[in-house]
Amino acid sequence: MQRQGDLLIIPTDQLPRDLTALTTRVVLQGEHSHRLDGGTLLRTTEGELFVRVADQVQLVHEEHGPLALGPGTYKVQQQRRYRPDLTPSNAWD
């Protein structure tokens, strides 16, 4: 598992069947975008994101160093911010 800012990149061998290849390489758009310099970004009908990489690529962001991804398949998950001031049942926003 690797992290870049608020993104977790999790290696996986299992892909859902309902994937659509996207024409964009922007993984997450915010004030600055997280974007791939190669590979294929895939999305399920529920909005889950995956990346398929044949050769090494980089996930780049203006405020973070580049993150190298080797050949394989990865699930992309946006991290949520932990709020210790809240009760355990709603501590993740």
CB of 74 within 8 A of CB of 59? no
Is 54 inside any structural domain?
Answer: yes
Is 39 inside any structural domain?
Answer: yes
pTM of the model: 0.77
Is 93 inside any structural domain?
Answer: no
Is 60 inside any structural domain?
Answer: yes
Give the pLDDT confidence of 8-67 residue by residue, as tens digits: 889 999 899 999 999 988 777 766 677 888 899 999 999 999 999 999 998 888 777 788
Domain that holds residue 69: 2-80
Tell me the Cα Rg of the chain.
Answer: 14
Is 72 inside any structural domain?
Answer: yes
Is 90 inside any structural domain?
Answer: no
Is 69 inside any structural domain?
Answer: yes
Give the pLDDT confidence of 33-49 residue by residue, as tens digits: 778 888 999 999 999 99
pLDDT for 54 equals 93
The total number of structural domains in the chain stands at 1
Between 63 and 87, the higher pLDDT residue = 63
Is 86 inside any structural domain?
Answer: no
